[in-house]
Amino acid sequence: MLNKKASRQRRSRKTRARIAEQRTVRLAVHRTNLHIYAQIISACGGKILASASSVEADVRKDLASGGNTAAAAVVGKRIAEKAKSAGIEAVAFDRSGNRYHGRVKALAEAAREHGLKF
């Protein structure tokens, strides 16, 4: 019987396999109860090209909590800005098996609004 963690890991494996086939740069999201993290990872070699999180000092000074949709939107904006400065226009969205709602959705929509395509 699958538990919650195993189900999420199964979904993330399927997504990552599909992204690996496409050979595109991916925007990976990691979510904890307190914070949200985003990384842009290269297609070959898995090198991290840009990252943003709600732990960063610039993000924390504006927010009361790092574990809400407002924090996720700020992180989405920052990752889009960092990607543009690194010359990245389009990415594949890797939600790490999490459902596309709440904080994950807020991060994705903020990244899209600030010019990242996926």
Contact indicator for 50, 79 with CB cutoff of 8 Å = yes
CATH of the domain spanning 4-113: 3.30.420.100
The model's pLDDT over 64-115, given as tens digits with 9 standing for 90+, comes to 888 899 999 999 999 999 999 999 999 999 999 999 999 999 999 999 999 9
Q: For the chain, which residues make up each domain, given as ranges? A: 4-113
The reported pLDDT for the residue numbered 52 is: 96
- Tokens at 107, concatenated: 């991060």
Identity of the amino acid at 60 = R
pLDDT score recorded for residue 1: 58
For residue 34 the two structure tokens come to: 């307190």
CA 115 to chain centre: 15
